[in-house]
Amino acid sequence: MRAELIMVGTELLLGEIVDTNAIYLAGELADLGIDVFYKSTVGDNFKRACGVLTTALSRSDLVIMSGGLGPTDDDLTREVVAEVLQCPLQENSEVLRDIEDWFTERYGQLSMPPHNRRQALFPQGSQVLANSVGTAPGFFLAKEDKVVIALPGVSLELKTMFSTQAVPLLLKQSSGERLVTKNLHFVGIGESGLEEILADILQTQTNPSLALYASGGTVRVRMAVKASSQAEGFQLMAPVEEEIRRRTKEYLYGTDGQSFEAVIAERLLTKKLTLALAESCTGGLIGHRLTNVPGSSGFLERGFVVYSNRAKVEELGVATATLDMFGAVSAETAQEMAEGVRSKAGTDLGLAVTGIAGPGGGTESKPVGLVYISLSSAGDTIVQRHLWKGTREQVKHRAALMALRLLWQATR
């Protein structure tokens, strides 16, 4: 099945916003094994939108439109589909009642604005796609060998409607075979490093097929296989996944949908380990990331942002002599920060970062991007030295990621 996407909305042409709907739909269709060959964006203009839909239907079997289902005169998707497919609009009384109820529930005495009546119009022969999170219903129209699906432009509504309403209808239309995917997430190794370790598998493996994606310091391997069910798909992947895991265990931190901080949080909670943070150049970013995980108060006892030397001495007990002799950005200071924060907070672990995020503050012997990370535990204290290139925010991001990685490695 050849699919294509049409995003309707003048605002999408102005470059002011990211078209997340297209990204979402393309990804979901790939997972269903449906190839997307074209994606078009057109403004809220009847003639131009009709032209784009006509072109799309001339070359694709499935056309998914997003946007243009609202109540205003600008919202033209219903009219465009009715015109191009020659399926006149008809009012659906059940949907009209639903919309009226929606307004009554929310605004009490206030009745539905007359404009919203338009949202109960559908091209003849459509199946209505209910909108459980908004007022604009969508529709699914199969005519001859073509399918048109119209979804609302609001992301949450589009995603909910597509996954719960449109996918079941699409699966009925297709052969029943679908693409099953699984992602493996890695940290502490680059795309090319992972490519080297998995070279023979990547080159010879076709079912599942494998692809690598790098972003923000982590790498993802996506396995994809065509199968009649998810269970069958996972079964086909199992031997390949096992071999990948065998070769990469020091880097692999999780599968689909698991964030790195959530994996770490689970480990700390399971092992009943408490943690205290001492952040200098990361400025609170490690604390921010860990506290994004619900329940992080179960292991994170406290944290310090010790931006000044005075704070390092007063809060963490770093020796003035150490700062004088080795400087604030040094292995010695990092170690004293980690040991100091652990001892002060009375936690099992103390994690510390000190570095030069730039753009100022670098010297020849201590350039911008130099970062020391230290983890103190009952047994011992580890110190790591890193040197990265990049902007201030990139250095902060990388330093936080590598500090989290040290924590992850130490809590296996």
Of residues 199-258, those binding a second copy (CB under 8 A): 213
Q: Quick check: 36 binds a second copy (CB under 8 A)?
A: yes
How far are the Cα atoms of 158, 261, 263, 351 from residue 376, in angstroms, in the given order?
A: 48, 19, 20, 6
The residue range among 106-114, 187-195, 289-297, 379-387 that interacts with a second copy, by the rule CB under 8 A, is 289-297
x/- map, 340-379, a second copy, by CB under 8 A: -----x-----------xxxxx------------------
How far are the Cα atoms of 263, 279, 291, 292 from residue 295, in angstroms, in the given order?
A: 13, 21, 8, 9
Using alpha carbons only, how large is the chain's radius of gyration in Å? 28
Q: Which of residues 56-95 bind a second copy (CB under 8 A)?
A: 59
Element (H, E) at 244: helix 230-248
| Nearest CB to a second copy, comparing residues 97 and 310 | 310
In the DSSP assignment, the letter for residue 70 is: S
Q: Quick check: 266 binds a second copy (CB under 8 A)?
A: no
Rounded to a whole number of angstroms, the minimum distance from the CB of residue 126 to a second copy is: 26
Rounded to a whole number of angstroms, the minimum distance from the CB of residue 397 to a second copy is: 10
The residue range among 72-80, 237-245, 292-300, 329-337 that interacts with a second copy, by the rule CB under 8 A, is 292-300
Kindly report the number of other CB atoms within 10 A of residue 16's CB atom. Answer: 7
Numbers of helices and strands, H then E, in the chain = 16, 17
In DSSP terms, 209 is beta-bridged to 224
Q: Figure out which of the listed residues 112, 158, 281, 371 binds a second copy, where binding follows CB under 8 A.
A: 281
The residue range among 99-107, 246-254, 388-396, 404-412 that interacts with a second copy, by the rule CB under 8 A, is 388-396
Backbone region of residue 149 per phi and psi (left: phi > 0; alpha: psi in -120 to 50; beta: other values): beta
Give the binding-site size for a second copy (rule: CB under 8 A): 71
Q: Figure out which of the listed residues 25, 198, 334, 403 binds a second copy, where binding follows CB under 8 A.
A: 25
Angle made by CA atoms 18, 164, 118, in degrees to the nearest 5: 70
Q: Quick check: 153 binds a second copy (CB under 8 A)?
A: no
The residue range among 7-15, 66-74, 108-116, 195-203 that interacts with a second copy, by the rule CB under 8 A, is 7-15
